[in-house]
Structure 1
Amino acid sequence: MKRDRTQGRLNEDDLELWRKVTERTERLDLKKLFTPEIDAPAPALTTLRKSKSVVMGKPEGKLRRLPHNLAPSLPDQISSAPVQMDQKAFGKLKRGKLKPEGRIDLHGMTLDHAHPILTKFILSAHARGKRLVLVITGKGKLRDDGGPIPVRHGVLRHQVPQWLAMPPLSSAVLQITQAHVSHGGGGAYYVYLRRHR
Structure 2
Amino acid sequence: MGNRNARDLSDEDRVLWNLVARSTKPLKGRAEVSAGEPPQNLTMDEVLSSGIPSEKAIATAPDKPKPRQVVTHSFDAPTRDKLAKGRLPIEGRVDLHGMTQDQAYSLLLSFLSRAYAGGIRYVLVITGKGSSSGGEGVLRRAVPAWLKTAPFRTLVSSHDHAARNHGGSGALYIRLRRHK
Q: Is the 8 A contact 1:96 1:183 kept in 2?
A: no
Q: Which residue of 1 aligns with 2:98?
A: 108
Q: Distance in 1 between the 2:122 and 2:141 partners?
A: 20
The residue type equivalent to 1:168 in the other structure is P
The one of 128, 131, 153 aligned to 1:138 = 128
Counterpart in 2 of 1:123? 113
Q: Whose relative contact order is higher, 1 or 2, with alpha carbons under 8 Å and at least 6 apart?
A: 2
Within the candidate set 72, 93, 97, 2:83 is matched to 93
Structure 2 residues not aligned, in runs of 5+: 1-70
Please state which structure has a larger fraction of its residues in helix: 2
Q: State the Cα distance separating 1:186 from its structure 2 match.
A: 1.0
Runs of 4+ in 1 over 3 A off after TM superposition: 81-88, 94-97
Between Structure 1 and Structure 2, how many residues are aligned? 110
Indicate which of 136, 140, 149 corresponds to 1:153: 136
TM-score by length of 2: 0.54
**Percent of aligned pairs with the same amino acid:** 46
Cα-Cα RMSD: 2.4
Q: Specify the alignment match of 1:78 in structure 2.
A: none
Q: Is the 8 A contact 1:96 1:182 kept in 2?
A: no
Between Structure 1 and Structure 2, whose CA radius of gyration is higher?
A: 1
Q: In the aligned structure 2, how far is the partner of 1:106 from the partner of 1:84?
A: 21
Q: Of 183, 186, 197, which residue of structure 1 is paired with 2:166?
A: 183
Q: Which amino acid aligns with 1:92?
A: K
Aligned to 1:14: none
TM-score normalised by structure 1 residue count: 0.50
- Aligned pairs for 1:63-82 (under 5 A) are none
The aligned runs of 1:44-63 (5 Å cut-off) are none
